[in-house]
Amino acid sequence: MHVLDKLEELNKRYEELNMELSRPEVVSDPVRLKKAAKEQSDLNEIIKTYRMLTGVISEMDDLDQIVEDGEDPELVAMAREDLRALEERRAHLEQDLNLLLLPRDPNDSKNTFLEIRAGTGGEEAALFAADLFRAYCRYAEPRGWRVEMMSSSESATGGFKEVIALVHGDGAYSRLKYERGVHRVQRVPTTESQGRIHTSAVTVAVLPEADDVEVTIDPKDLKIDVYRSSGPGGQSVNTTDSAVRVTHLPTNLVVTCQDEKSQHKNKAKALKILKARLLDIMEEERDSEISKERKSQVGSGDRSERIRTYNFPQNRVTDHRIGLTLYRLEEVLSGKLDDIIDPLAIHFQTEAIKGNLTH
């Protein structure tokens, strides 16, 4: 089907939805009303852009007629000038529609779990895990996203061996999903007397929050242990058995939570994290069954690949997926991540458009 034919079909559907939303039987049915309103809302931007495009095409047809008639040379010259401007406008609108028509990642509007773990590099990796977590918190703040700490394990020097947070906010997953992978850091540790540069690594996992409908867990599949929580170095930080370890027996996934003083709160948080990980496994299995082109639309590549290097002596950040280098490392770690995330989003959208055009 030609793209314009597809758009005309969507336009007709949009008109049908307008009529549907004014019918008393729909207005009085909350389920039907919500479903129709959501479908209309999803089409809003596409239809608005499509109608602008049809307006431009209609104007161009009129101007073509003036040029073809050629009766008034002055009028023809003006028409040709207007046509050049409209051609540019048409190209922009078609580009916008290409993006709007891409299959949407159904997870984009969801809250997202951010899991950061220290990899190779010991304490230095743990300190960088804390730096990276702070950068994401600062990135979230101006967007009105709320960062809820779910679980953390501190290192002896105040870094994080592991930190898990749930980022609440519209579009959180759509932006943070590009951060998934291995982040490498090169810097001189404060404990290094010879001034030698050490290389450490931190892994970042980004998982959409799972709805109860998407992931259901049979209580019989869970083994739940409670124990006394402890801080860095193993010292006890709580006098009651409030820490919770949840094991999902079919997959052998283990989640521990000890940040809250309440056992019930820790258990609730652990189950939320477990559901997100189970959804991630389900989606990974699904993605492995579909084409390579489709994968480019879903995410940003293999979660185990090295995606970025932060070089402190050179004040440099390099994203290896798109060959982007910025000499503003301090700004990036202060939460100004859009200069990296925007080009990544454009890159993967472009790849997705190419994938669409080959089908």
- Say if residue 75 is in the same domain as residue 123: no
Instruction: Classify residue 106: in a domain, yes or no.
Output: no
Question: Are residues 74 and 46 part of one domain?
Answer: yes
Of 100, 134, 161, the residue at which a domain comes to its end is 100
* pLDDT value for 193: 65
| pTM attached to this predicted model | 0.64
Q: Give the H/E segment covering residue 146.
A: strand 146-154
**pLDDT in single tens digits along all 359 residues of the chain:** 467 788 888 899 999 999 999 999 988 988 888 888 888 888 888 899 999 999 999 999 999 998 888 888 888 899 999 999 999 999 888 878 877 777 677 777 788 989 999 988 888 999 999 999 999 999 999 999 999 888 888 888 889 998 989 999 988 998 999 999 999 999 988 767 677 888 999 999 998 888 766 677 888 888 888 877 665 544 444 456 778 888 888 888 888 888 777 788 888 888 888 888 888 887 777 666 544 433 443 344 344 578 999 999 999 999 999 999 999 999 999 999 999 998 888 888 777 766 654 44
* Domain containing residue 35: 3-100
**Sequence-separated (6 or more) residues with CB below 8 Å from residue 146:** 140, 167, 168, 169
Burial of 119-152, coded b for 16+ CB within 10 Å and e otherwise, reads bebbbbbbbbbbbbbebbbebbeeeebebeebbb
Neighbours of 323 (CB within 10 A): 9
How far apart are alpha carbons 273 and 154 in whole angstroms?
19
**What's residue 53's pLDDT?**
92
Residue 304 is predicted with a pLDDT of 56
Are residue 67 and residue 127 in the same domain, yes or no?
no
Count how many domains the chain has.
Answer: 2
Do 129 and 96 lie in one domain? The reply is no
Same domain (yes/no): 23, 152: no
In-domain check, residue 138: yes
Are 141 and 201 in a shared domain?
Answer: yes
Domain presence at residue 294: yes
Domain assignment present for 285: yes
Give the domain CATH number at 17.
Answer: 1.20.58
pLDDT of the residue at 293: 36
CB contact at 8 A, 267 and 246: yes
Q: Are residues 38 and 174 in the same domain?
A: no
Identify whether residues 91 and 117 lie together within a single domain. Answer: no
**Predicted pLDDT at 151:** 82
Task: Say if residue 131 is in the same domain as residue 277.
Answer: yes
- Assigned domain for 357 exists: no
> How far is Cα 56 from Cα 70, in angstroms, rounded to an integer?
21
Tokens of 40: 């209309």
Q: Is residue 107 part of a domain?
A: no
Instruction: Provide the CATH number for the domain around residue 214.
Output: 3.30.70.1660
147 within 8 A of 164, measured Cβ to Cβ:
no
